[in-house]
Amino acid sequence: DSGVTQTPKHLITATGQRVTLRCSPRSGDLSVYWYQQSLDQGLQFLIQYYNGEERAKGNILERFSAQQFPDLHSELNLSSLELGDSALYFCASSSRDSRETQYFGPGTRLLVL
C-alpha cells in the first residue's frame, strides 16, 4: 500500500458526460501528479500540482482540468467525455518536486460508453 488513495475505483459513464476523479496524497506529500494509462498511448503524464499551484503540464486535453485543494487532495475533472477517454487514471504523490520518488495510487478505471 503506497499511502495514496484514489476514488472511485471504477467509473462507467456515457459520452458527453463529465466526471471527477479524486486523489488523496500520502501524508506530508505536497506534490500530486496525474497520469493516464491507455492501450494505445501507454502511460502519459497529464499534470502536476505542488502545494495548491499548477507546476507542470503534460499531454492534458483542454476538456480536462485539475486542482489541488488546501488540504492537498486533488481532483481531476474530465468533461465532454469521448470513447477514447476510457483509460486507467493514476494519481501519484511525492514529498517535494525535486528528485523525490513518486508513489502511485491504485488508479481509477474509467469506461466511457
Q: Where do contacts with other proteins occur on this chain (CB under 8 A)?
A: 2, 31, 33, 35, 42-45, 48, 55-56, 58, 90, 92, 94, 97-107
- Minimal distance, residue 14 CB to other proteins, in Å: 24
Q: How many CA atoms, within 13 angstroms, populate the side-chain half-sphere of residue 79?
A: 7
As a whole number of angstroms, the distance between CA 88 and CA 111 comes to 9
Q: What is the DSSP string of 28-82?
A: T--EEEEEEEETTTEEEEEEEEETTEEEEE-S--TTEEEEE-TTS-EEEEE-S--
Q: How far is the CB of 16 from other proteins (least distance, A)?
A: 28
Q: Exposed, middle or buried: residue 61 (CB in 10 Å: 0-12, 13-18, 19+)?
A: middle
Pick between residue 42 and residue 70 the one whose CB is nearest to other proteins: 42
By C-beta, is 20 or 95 nearer to other proteins?
Answer: 95
Compute the least distance from the CB of residue 61 to other proteins, in Å. 16
Cell of 95: 514529498
Question: Which is nearer to other proteins, 16 or 58 (by Cβ)?
Answer: 58
Closest distance to other proteins from the beta carbon of 4 (Å): 8
> Closest CB to other proteins among 34 and 112?
34
